[in-house]
Amino acid sequence: MEGAGVEGCLSIETFTEVAEAGVSSPQFTSLCTWLVSELRALCPLEEDVSPACGPEDAETFQIEMSGLLGELRCPYPSLTTGDVTSRLRTPENCLQLLYFLSSELLAARLQARKRPRSPEQENRSREAVCELQHICQALGMPEVDPDCPIPQLMADIKSKISGLLSTMPPEQMAPLLKTPLASEEWKTVEKIHGALRAEYQCRKCMMITRFDVTLESFHWSERAKDRSKAMAKAFKPLRQSLQEDSQVTLAHLLAARDDLSRIIKTSSGTSRDKTSCAINKVLMTGGVPDRGGRPNEIEPPMPMWEKRREGGGGGGYQRWGKRGKKKK
């Protein structure tokens, strides 16, 4: 409701204007519903009020409001006694209802500020301060003053960024996303982002599983058993650093510059200048073994895995040759 401008209606003049419209007005019921929703977010209330879509819902709205006022122990008899559907017929009673709900919300917000914050809230606060410190450090600004108001700090950061942008060539800061998106388009972008994150997570899980299997195979050797602790100590930090979830967010889309759209192939000349080495000049001649890897060409029965035998003998599985046929 805040996005619809309801919070901007919290003034005496607006309250009077909305109360004049009465309980049959969607603006009055929407304002009451928003006040109740904000109050429920701070207080454990059982009763709730549904917004009225039109005059035909006014009776239901008044019945639900009566139950809520009873739970809040409203001290005004004009709002708690008499016929339920007649209590909000006058603008005075409607105005009194708005005053009561807004005063209860103000008191609840003041009480919420006095409560000690939970560990989760403390962690989020520390993370936010840490991010602001990183931003100030990257912009060459002094460290964040704990007593500095957040609006003032954000204004200083915006001013600093605007000053830096004015000194840079426009072509270097051209954004990759040049077209402003509407709310529905952003929802579509979020769906695409969710699908890509799921795909990336699946691929990363597969790669991490392959890493775990490969790491486990290092311990099969008899010589490796004596060095298992040293191997685990060496690989454990690397394994713990691997995260399955993608760290790319929509903020990266907004921060992407136009030069990211220029994709350079790994086989291009500029890339090969840094990656070429002597091994690339070695040419394999003669009968190059066929490594297989084509599931559609494998004929049943499928190869069976078996325990590694002493002295080798096939590497722990039946040997398969070209086109998946078992060698005699």
Q: Is residue 296 part of a domain?
A: no
Total domains in the chain come to 3
Please give the pLDDT value at position 233: 83
Closest CA to 68 of 49, 43, 87, 92: 49
CB of 100 closer than 8 Å to CB of 80: no
Question: CA dihedral defined by 252, 255, 256, 259, rounded to 10 degrees?
Answer: -150
Q: What is the pLDDT along the chain (328 residues), one digit of tens a residue?
A: 333 344 545 667 788 888 888 888 888 888 888 899 889 888 888 888 887 776 777 888 888 899 999 999 999 999 988 888 888 889 899 999 999 999 998 898 888 888 776 777 677 777 788 888 888 888 888 887 777 777 888 888 889 988 888 888 777 778 888 888 888 898 999 999 999 888 888 888 888 888 888 888 887 777 777 788 888 888 888 888 888 788 888 888 888 888 777 777 777 777 777 777 887 777 777 777 777 767 666 666 655 656 665 555 444 444 444 444 444 4
162 and 65 within one domain: no
Enter the pTM of the model: 0.40
Last residue of a domain, one of 87, 114, 141: 114
Please give the pLDDT value at position 227: 80
Q: Look up tokens 């529905």; give the residue.
A: 184
Amino acid making up residue 42: L
Q: Is residue 147 part of a domain?
A: yes
Dmax of the chain from CA atoms?
Answer: 102
Six token digits for residue 50 = 């549904």
Six token digits for residue 79 = 């709002």
Question: CA dihedral defined by 229, 234, 239, 240, rounded to 10 degrees?
Answer: 90
Q: Is residue 20 part of a domain?
A: yes
191 and 148 within one domain: no
Please give the pLDDT value at position 100: 92
Q: Is 168 strand, coil or helix?
A: coil
Please give the pLDDT value at position 325: 47
CA 312 to centroid of chain Cα atoms: 50
| Domain that residue 204 falls in | 183-261
Please give the pLDDT value at position 275: 77
Q: Is 7 strand, coil or helix?
A: helix
Last residue of a domain, one of 114, 141, 159: 114
77 and 29 within one domain: yes
105 and 17 within one domain: yes
Q: Is residue 38 part of a domain?
A: yes
State the Cα–Cα distance between residues 296 and 293, nearest whole angstrom.
9
Q: Is residue 323 part of a domain?
A: no
